[in-house]
Amino acid sequence: MTDQNNPTAAFYYQSMDKTPCSFALVAVMQNSWDFSVYDPNCPQVSPDISTPFRLAAVQFEDAVRHDFNENGAFFRPDGSLIFRKIGTPSNVLFSASELIGVNNSGFSHNHPGGHSFSMQDVRHAVELDLIELRAVAPHWRYIMHPAEAWPDWEAIE
């Protein structure tokens, strides 16, 4: 039973073993000629390398995107490396002494599991007043930067 005029109508089908199954189809307002990020042939966009920092970050990301462990690197706006560190498969930790002098820098790291930013990533971006926070995964690149200033952490939570 289907209702073609109702995009959230329930659809019924039989599984391979002839067991009746049902599911609800949620309306997606995407034109049939548009790609989504989930389409295997989604057009890719070249990364933004318009500043020395972004060029350095993209080069670092391309080198670590498939690594088993997380790698993190801080860069100055002129693209020079402040320092980089290799962590574990699930995080890269920095001591308080390592974070001295990284305020107003850019930070990039890889996420071997493919996910976007963690709340801890965002917290560090706010606390360190980063110019840009970046994460790269095997198939994705995530970028976050403040419009003018990072909001207070309480507003983000």
Find the CATH number of the domain harbouring 64: 3.40.140.10
Go through 75-106 and write b for each residue having 16 or more CB atoms within 10 A of its CB, e for each that does not. Answer: bbeebeeeeeeeeeeeebebeeeeeeebeebb
The answer to whether residue 23 is domain-embedded is: no
CA distance 152 to 122: 11
On whether residue 2 sits in a domain, the answer given is no
**Host domain of residue 89:** 52-156
User: 93-140 pLDDT, tens per residue?
Assistant: 999 999 999 999 999 999 999 999 999 999 999 999 999 999 999 988
In-domain check, residue 133: yes
Residue 144 lies in a domain: yes
This prediction's pTM: 0.74
Distance of CA 94 to the CA centre of its chain: 20
3-state secondary structure of 100: coil
Please give the tally of structural domains in the chain.
1
Question: Is 95 a member of any domain?
Answer: yes
Answer yes or no: is 37 within a domain: no
